[in-house]
Amino acid sequence: MHRPLQDRLHMRCQVNRESALNRKVGLLSSSGLVIVGVTYAVVVAVGVAQAGLAEPIVDPVLAVMEGITVVASLFVVGLFVAVYGLADHERKPLGLIALSFAVIMAALTSAVHFVALTAGRQTGFTALEWPSTLYALELLAWDVFLGLTLLFAAAVFVGSGARAVARWSLAAAGALCLLGAIGPVIGDMAVQRIGILGYGVGLPIASLAVAQVFRREVDRADGSRDPTA
């Protein structure tokens, strides 16, 4: 007689555990992207200080930058897995599209940098020098697919306060990324610097805003379980 009630309670507990895990993944991934973004900026500053503005950054600093890029792409996937999990039912398709683009972006950039760090170093081939096929794939990943990821993810966040900040920061970063894609299309890499603003500056800021959303979700969930709250 009590079996349906027990089943419902079991399902509710399972959903609560999954939601708690999703919130933690989102908070970890968004915070990780902020930390990675700051770390990358510091490493670039070190590279520029060593090579100067007129010369390209070289190894070992360049290799560290490429490794950080791969790590960042993994955090991107984790973040948008959590954003999909956070989405309201009617906005799940938008979250799924964002996650799909994030996976494509991560796969492309990871492949490019794996080639650059292995075969590229051993053969003396410069992978990230325009114009080149690998550099075009890298820009496809960060300008186009990340830009689309951020725009679709922005539509997941409905409401005011922290969610509104997350929505607009994601949308702004995504728009900058997509605008940067115009550069390689027309052959003017100066225009592509707009995209660098998108993923180099806009993405860490948007990640910080999304982290605030997940942090509030975690705090709200902890408060609801606290019998003294």
Quote the DSSP letter at residue 155.
T
User: What DSSP line would sit under 158-170, residue for residue?
Assistant: -SSTHHHHHHHHH
Q: Is the pLDDT of residue 6 over 60?
A: no
At 216 the pLDDT is 85
> 223: pLDDT confidence band, cut at 50, 70 and 90?
low
Question: What does the mean pLDDT of the chain come to?
Answer: 87
- pLDDT tens, position by position, 189-211: 999 999 999 999 999 999 999 99
Q: Is the peptide bond before 60 cis (omega within 30 degrees of 0)?
A: yes
At 213 the pLDDT is 92
Mean pLDDT of 69-89: 95
* Total-model pTM: 0.86
Q: What is the share, in percent, of the chain residues with pLDDT greater than 90? A: 68
Q: Which residue has the higher pLDDT, 171 or 18?
A: 171
At 23 the pLDDT is 87
At 12 the pLDDT is 46
State how far the alpha carbon of 26 is from the alpha carbons of 60, 192, 213, in Å.
32, 29, 9
Q: Is the pLDDT of residue 173 over 50?
A: yes
Positive or negative, the CA dihedral 89, 94, 96, 102 is negative
User: What DSSP line would sit under 34-55, residue for residue?
Assistant: HHHHHHHHHHHHHHHHHH-SSS
Mean pLDDT of 148-156: 97
At 142 the pLDDT is 97
Q: Is the pLDDT of residue 140 over 50?
A: yes
> 126: pLDDT confidence band, cut at 50, 70 and 90?
confident
Q: What is the share, in percent, of the chain residues with pLDDT greater than 70? A: 88
